[in-house]
Homo-oligomer: A and B are copies of this chain.
Amino acid sequence: MADEEAVIGVDVGGTKVAAGLVNPQGEIVTDARRPMVADGDAAAGLASVTGAIDALFSANANARESIQGIGICAPGPLDPKTGLVINPPNLKCWRNFPLAAEISRRYGVPVKIDNDANAAALAEVLWGAGRGYKTVFYACIGTGIGTGIIFDGRIYHGRTGAAAEGGHVSIDYQGPVCGCGKRGCIEILAAGPAIARRARAKIAAEPSRGATVVRLAGGSVEAVSSETVGQANAAGDPLAREILLETVELLAVWLGNTVDFLEPDAMIIGGGVMAMLNPFFDQLRERAARHSVNSRCSEIPLLPAHYGADSGIAGGAALCNRT
């Protein structure tokens, strides 16, 4: 049942599209998912997106007439001002593709696009953990690390829309090379693959300590993932705890830097890795304060994100409200 003021939020990823009808309270009323054909031509990519939106309309007869707008989040680079998808590595179908204009033409409503972390940050401030805060730093920590900055209730885009690439801020300029080419980015140090890599290295060095982690990975060291480490920690495994605490320490350095640079009103952390680090939220807060010169760092709320796997749909919808 569509609310009269409802909007549609669309989350475009490298393998799937999720579209949801979102009410003015930021609640996802209903949603639809479709595979994303990301390595075909531009039309095939577009058809994946309209397929998900059409599926949503099919299941919600009133929605097509009543929706106020469509907001789409996708991996960057893209240009939120012009609505152009520029050249995302995992959306090869689109190169300087006018996604917003194409979708707007098709459905006759205003369409906004933005990158996924920016959009999710806005959803948190409008409807989630960030309500009431003006300047917010948001991070989604999963397979990668995406971040968004909200200033005065609006997404901060920077000069060309490429600001807030906080996952590629380096805290170790001589450290391991990240997929982006830089060294020691927080993403290469502390996202999911880094946790798995560190676990495998520790197990190789001290096999006797790795028994629980390896068992949870089905007996194979190669199969150890960040999820395995999270599960092992939940089961009380000391090695898993050690790895997660090291991850907390790295994230704390990064958040301390963020406070020293930005001193936001609140920091919100979401994503799959953060969910697994939930037991360590107090340590993260305390350690971040140790890694900041700001004497009032510990007063800055460090909050778990409200939205989980649906942050992309909520983010897309948030773009319709304000950008």
8 extra interface residue pairs, beta carbon distance < 8 Å, beyond A160-B294, A164-B263: A135-B159, A149-B261, A158-B262, A162-B294, A168-B260, A170-B171, A171-B171, A172-B174
- List residues 289-315 of chain A with CB under 8 A from any CB of chain B: 291-296, 300
* Cα-based distance from A165 to B160 in the complex (angstroms): 24
- For residue A180, CB closer than 8 A to chain B, the reply is yes
Contact (Cβ within 8 A) A163 B261: yes
- List residues 150-191 of chain A with CB under 8 A from any CB of chain B: 151, 157-160, 162-166, 168-174, 180-182, 184
The segment from A33-41, A223-231, A249-257 that touches chain B is: A249-257
Q: Please, which residues of chain B bring their CB within 8 A of the CB of A157?
A: 263
- For residue A14, CB closer than 8 A to chain B, the reply is no
Q: Could you say which of B160, B163, B164, B170 contacts A257, with CB atoms under 8 Å apart?
A: B170
* Cα-based distance from A174 to B173 in the complex (angstroms): 10
* Cα-based distance from A231 to B47 in the complex (angstroms): 64
Contact (Cβ within 8 A) B168 A264: no
Contact (Cβ within 8 A) B169 A263: no
- For residue A102, CB closer than 8 A to chain B, the reply is no
Contact (Cβ within 8 A) B264 A261: no
Check A181/B293 contact, CB under 8 A, given A163-B261, A257-B169, A264-B158. Answer: yes
Contact (Cβ within 8 A) B159 A264: yes
Check A158/B172 contact, CB under 8 A, given A181-B293, A256-B182, A261-B165. Answer: no
> Chain A interface mostly helix, strand, loop or mixed?
loop
Q: Mark A77-114, 1 if CB is under 8 A from B, else 0.
A: 10000000000000000000000000000000000000
Q: Please, which residues of chain B bring their CB within 8 A of the CB of A256?
A: 170, 182
* Cα-based distance from A163 to B300 in the complex (angstroms): 12
- Distance in angstroms from A70 CB to nearest chain B CB is 26
- For residue A237, CB closer than 8 A to chain B, the reply is no
* Cα-based distance from A19 to B257 in the complex (angstroms): 34
Q: Could you say which of B77, B169, B300 contacts A260, with CB atoms under 8 Å apart?
A: B169
- Distance in angstroms from A200 CB to nearest chain B CB is 22
Cβ-closest 5 pairs across A and B: A158-B263, A163-B263, A165-B260, A173-B253, A168-B293
Check A162/B296 contact, CB under 8 A, given A173-B250, A256-B182, A291-B170. Answer: yes
Contact (Cβ within 8 A) B135 A261: no
- For residue A265, CB closer than 8 A to chain B, the reply is yes
